[in-house]
Structure formats: C-alpha cells, structure tokens
C-alpha cells in the first residue's frame, strides 16, 4: 500500500473547552506502513495532538483501543484501515459516560467484572506442587480465559445499556463461567447464588451482539447459556 489520504468523522468532546460533543471532519495522509486503524489515528495525532484515545500494545492483547468504528465496536489495532468505508466514523464505546473524545469512563464495566469474584477459590491447603488438572479439564477454559477486558461486548449489548448497574454484562459473565468451568475452583454454589437474580444473569436475551463484536472471537452468549444450564441442573 502506498501513501493515501483517508477521511474521518470523529466524535470530539473536551470538557475543558466544549459545551457539547460534536463530529469533526478531518483527513490525514497515511504512510505506506500505516496499515491498521490505530496506525492511522496515531498518524492523525501527529497533526492534531488534541485527539485523545487509549492505546498500548497495538497487537490486540491489552484491550485499550476499543472504540465504535463505522457503527460497530472493535479494536483499532486489529482493524485494517483500507477495508473501512470512508469517511471512517469513530465514536467512543456506546453506553458508558464519555470523559473526552474516544475515552470512556469504564468504572461501571469493571465494577461488574469485580462483582463476579474474578479469582480462583480453593480452600484446601495449598499443596507443595501444582494442583493437577487433566488436559480435557483444562480445555474447558479455552474460549474463556483469553478475554482482554476491552468492553467491546458489554458496550454493544442493549441489556447492558439499559441496566449497566444491574446486569453483569457479557464480559463479566464470561469471566464468571471461566471460574465455574475451572475444576480447581470450589465456589460453584456461591457463584451461582451470586448470579441468581432477575437482572444479573437473566437480562441476557441472546441478542448476540457480544459474539458479533468480540475481537478475540470469544462467545459470551454460549458461556451465559452454560451458566443458565448449571442453574437449572442445580434446581432439579
């Protein structure tokens, strides 16, 4: 790819300057080496240093640069800029308070993650060596532990938009199932009690936006279904 100009429409809001948010039309000439959307907005920032966004690893493992790209949540670093229809419309992740430009306040998202007790509980005395786990049992954690907490899923979920304080959301529920599925964890009953509530788990209406947007190809809806199955099995 050679040098080319790309056109953006970007949500801008600086609480120190702006009374209200606005959409900015702006273009930038990309270098041949600029391949991902993140490369393009980093290039843009060299022209206008007031554009604010989070970024770190630029390879899709840290989860910093989630944003709404042409109407769909995704990671800027894993999105090919040349595959996007122009003007490329960038907005902050929906449903969370905007702090500035593409930066949202993720407090509520992490509060829900923390609410599911995202840590292994095993009250047996710690053995001298590792706890054994068969390869098949370990396999159960695949598709669960890889979550990068980017919040693409939860902020694409209408149930989370309406009840971010009551519905755990797909990311938190995926993490909840990650511990329920771990043969080393002993807290199954308390974990299910923690979710047995009209909102926390059962606000999931299998709309599946979460699956559609997950940049790691994970499936929170399936994990939520498995938690529901465990509840049913526990009840009978």
Partner 1 sequence: MNVAKRTFDAVIVGAGGAGLRAALQLSEAGLKTAVLTKVFPTRSHTVAAQGGVAASLGNTTEDNWHWHMYDTVKGSDWLGDQDAIEFMVKKANEVVVELEHYGMPFDRTDNGKIYQRPFGGHSMNYGQAPVMRSCAAADRTGHAMLHALYQRNVRANTQFFVEWNALDLIRNSEGDVLGVTAIEMETGEVSIFHAKATIFATGGAGRIYYSSTNAFINTGDGLGMAARAGIPLEDMEFWQFHPTGVAGAGVLITEGVRGEGGILRNSSGERFMERYAPNLKDLASRDVVSRSMVTEINEGRGCGPDKDHVLLDITHLAPENIMKRLPGIREISIQFAGIDPIKAPIPVVPTCHYQMGGIPTNYKGQVIVPKDGNPNTPVVGFYAAGECACASVHGANRLGTNSLLDLLVFGKSAGESVVEDFKAGNLSLKPLPADAADVSLARMARLENQKNGTDVHEVRLAMQRTMQKHAGVFRFKDLLSEGAARILEVAEQSLHTEISDKSKVWNTARTEALELDNLIEVAKATMISAEARKESRGAHVRDDAPDTAENPNGRDDKNWLKHTLWYRDGNRLDYKPVNLKPLSDDVEPIALAKRTY
By CB under 8 A, name the binding residues for partner 1: 14-17, 33, 35, 45-46, 48-50, 52-64, 78, 99-101, 103, 106, 110, 114, 117-120, 122, 126, 128-135, 137-138, 141, 145-146, 148-149, 179, 182, 184-185
* Closest alpha carbon to 38 in 14, 62, 2: 62
Q: Closest approach of Cβ 95 to partner 1, in Å?
A: 18
Q: In terms of CB distance, is 3 or 233 closer to partner 1?
A: 3
Q: Closest approach of Cβ 163 to partner 1, in Å?
A: 23
Q: Closest approach of Cβ 14 to partner 1, in Å?
A: 5
Q: Closest approach of Cβ 181 to partner 1, in Å?
A: 10
Hey, what are 116's tokens? 């599911």
Q: What is the 3-state secondary structure (H, E, C) of 2-17?
A: CCEEEEEEEEECCCCC
Q: In terms of CB distance, is 93 or 106 closer to partner 1?
A: 106
Q: In terms of CB distance, is 4 or 138 closer to partner 1?
A: 138
Q: Are 10 and 51 in contact (CB under 8 A)?
A: yes
Block residue for tokens 């948010």: 21
Angle in degrees, CA 108, 229, 135, rounded to 5? 90
Q: In terms of CB distance, is 158 or 219 closer to partner 1?
A: 219
Q: In terms of CB distance, is 45 or 228 closer to partner 1?
A: 45
Q: In terms of CB distance, is 135 or 198 closer to partner 1?
A: 135
Q: Closest approach of Cβ 112 to partner 1, in Å?
A: 13
Q: How far apart, in Å, are the Cα atoms of 235 and each of 117, 176, 193, 231?
A: 22, 19, 11, 6
d(CA 112, CA 182): 20
Q: Hey, CA dihedral for 132, 137, 141, 143, is it positive or negative?
A: positive
Q: Closest approach of Cβ 82 to partner 1, in Å?
A: 12
């Amino acid at each position: 790819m050679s040098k080319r100009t790309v056109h953006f429409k970007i949500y801008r809001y600086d609480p120190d300057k702006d009374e209200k948010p606005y959409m900015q039309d702006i273009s930038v000439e990309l270098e041949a080496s600029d391949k991902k959307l993140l490369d393009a907005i980093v290039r843009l920032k060299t022209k206008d240093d007031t554009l604010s966004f989070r970024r770190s690893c630029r390879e899709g493992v840290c989860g910093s640069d989630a944003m709404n790209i042409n109407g769909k949540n995704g990671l800027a670093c894993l999105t090919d800029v040349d595959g996007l229809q122009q003007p490329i419309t960038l907005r902050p992740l929906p449903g969370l308070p905007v702090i500035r430009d593409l930066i949202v306040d993720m407090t509520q998202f992490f509060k829900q993650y923390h609410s599911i007790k995202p840590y292994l509980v095993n009250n047996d005395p710690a053995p001298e060596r590792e706890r054994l786990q068969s390869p098949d049992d370990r396999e159960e954690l695949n598709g669960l532990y890889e979550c990068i907490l980017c919040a693409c899923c939860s902020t694409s979920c209408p149930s989370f938009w309406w009840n971010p304080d009551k519905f755990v959301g797909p990311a938190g529920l995926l993490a909840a199932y990650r511990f329920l599925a771990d043969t080393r964890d002993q807290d199954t009953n308390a974990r299910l009690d923690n979710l047995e509530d009209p909102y926390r788990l059962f606000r999931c209406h299998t709309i599946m936006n979460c699956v559609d947007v997950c940049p790691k190809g994970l499936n929170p809806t399936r994990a939520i279904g498995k938690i529901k199955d465990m509840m049913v099995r526990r009840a009978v």
